[in-house]
A and B are shown apart, each in its own frame.
Chain A
């Protein structure tokens, strides 16, 4: 091969593979970025970066298809709440998320969307840190054209098409997340910094709620259920956190799943994967409770 041909061939290969990559990204469009996402069902194979996936889905797909949101860390991610008071709900919970990260994702959803109800999880992890993990703050729309997490989604789409099945899904099309982690219900010590309130995280948390309220979104705070032996071990810290936080936040009804009436559900080890996250069975029970309690809570506020 002569040098000129080598240069032409190399550049042509780079350009044509890039063009093919963009064409496939446009055709598959797993984040609903390039084609009209209204009416589409976009699940996510999350083995690479589910947080970036939710960030990108929030740009067009979530606003086009949903009018209520569940916002918080992974504690409520497994809760399957397709509808709430007649609205379609997207579960925007992100793995290991704090308020800074949750706001980053919510800001995308608010750019084009209008939401009637927002269920906001009150958990110490929201405000314990301001660290943005996994490059969430650097996520760009270009990642929906070329990125490793995009290729995973494309591969999952290909596998689903080949097997004619609904496998290779970790985040359902309504944002619900299925936990694959091993069951571990040993009540452990919690790092005291877990209950610290970072001022930046708190301010972002407040901003998030204020921005939603500005849209006339009805807010419901949810205190998530914890595995009872774990809760009893750290009751003072969890209750203290709630007591400190509530006066710092805009007023809204609170559904507290740590109340005594839910104790038996919290005591059932079959409901939990670990001390904070739920099995599908537990999630279904609490999701049903949330569906029945939220409309009443919102009505009481009005």
Chain B
């Protein structure tokens, strides 16, 4: 089930009412039972055949956490390694088997035919969640939880499919409050509604308006001027930002409806003035995972920490993170560009190189992530390379003909041209200058203005949804 769908707009209040009812009946752990059932229904809604994969993964990881907790020494480490191997193996089988097999003919002269397996929805997210859980259990940061708590935590519907990647120690301790007789406050509900409306408008209206532009740009690569190539790459960055941050806002708001706070995922990343700052603001739950669970073990494994080992670890960690996004060399290069950018950024800081003026460093950062996003969007390395040549086409720098056409009036457009153009202008303002949704939610006050804004956003987004021009959520593919 998609957050930006009428089904979810009905599903969420039904679950809220059911939880409130369970709370009133004072059934022990009643609200949690309702949440668990709702989460499983939510997950199975798209394709019930995916549910056994999720449940199987949960069961194995829960058992592994019990065994880890009950053992010591080498056996404890071996059990953790076994658990990690299971999770990584699961990702490899469902996500990377064909990628690896497809890559082998480059190195050997044999062609392998791997079976095409169904790609269980959200596997990348629930697998990372459980890797973190196992390591936290191993490090004794959390005690192993009951199966009921574990399955509720992993399958919690606001984040099971596309994050934010929840960390057990932040979520599990909120379960007693979920089951208590006192539900979330009216203030929490109001803030949730406010944040949900912001997320919905970001996903439904703003992301789709930029998607229109980006699709046009990527469909006409060979005709783009240099300035258009940069503009369309930025449009794609804006599309992904509004798509994913809008989804994250809706996830956070949905969890808030049950009194559960999940970590924020974005903090105006397009305003970052360095790659380091960018990753502190973009997909923050993933950054936290990369830093704690990939970079740190890697850098420790290299011996004493030096600038060089730190740079290599950063590069490798980001390349792995790139591959996590998708089974394609384009994603590997996407990660590698960011890894290289972060390593250079770290060196620049540590070696106390002269500071770059802020507007210039912002522009340079934007250019780096625009470049990386070309690989994120392109279907293959050749297409991305072709796009990159447009970035520096000195014979055709200033043409803007394609920018005029990007929302073009063709069959099936018309008034949508105006809607897209206005949405794009609003989106640029919101991404580069406005308050973040987290700031807005924190500063929320029940005023006439917030009432009008919430109602208008919800209504506009719902009517937009009904117009059937909305595209699916990009991160569903991962």
Contacts and interface: CB of A to CB of B under 8 A. Distances in A.
Q: Do A and B bind each other?
A: yes
A145 to B, nearest CB: 7
A6 to B, nearest CB: 3
The 8 A-B pairs at the shortest CB distance, nearest first, are namely: A134-B412, A6-B446, A96-B411, A48-B415, A147-B467, A146-B466, A48-B414, A13-B455
Interface in B424-478: 446-448, 450-451, 454-455, 458-459, 462-464, 466-469
Contacts, number: 98
A147 B466 contact: yes
B416 interface: yes
Interface of A is mostly: helix
Interface in A5-43: 5-7, 9-11, 13-14, 17-18, 21
A51 interface: yes
Nearest to A47: B414
Nearest to B411: A96
B256 interface: no
A139 B459 contact: no
A128 to B, nearest CB: 14
Contacts of A248: none
A136 B412 CA distance: 8
Interface in A50-78: 51-52
Interface residues of A, number: 41
A7 B450 CA distance: 11
Interface string B175-199: 0000000000111011001000000
A5 B445 CA distance: 12
Contact of A133 (B411, B455, B462, B464): B411
B41 interface: no
A252 to B, nearest CB: 27
Contacts of B186: 3-4, 7
A172 B415 CA distance: 19
A95 B450 contact: no
Interface string A117-138: 0000000000000000111101
A1 interface: yes
Given A17-B455, A49-B413, A49-B415, 10 more contacts: A6-B447, A14-B462, A17-B459, A47-B415, A49-B416, A134-B410, A134-B413, A135-B468, A148-B415, A148-B463
Which range contains the number of B residues in contact with the other chain? 20 to 34
B73 to A, nearest CB: 54
A2 B454 CA distance: 16
Contacts of A18: 459, 462
15 contacts: A1-B448, A3-B190, A7-B186, A9-B451, A17-B455, A46-B414, A47-B415, A133-B412, A134-B410, A134-B411, A134-B412, A147-B467, A148-B419, A149-B415, A152-B414
A143 B466 contact: yes
Most buried by B among A10, A139, A147: A10
A146 B466 CA distance: 6
A153 to B, nearest CB: 11
Nearest to A3: B186
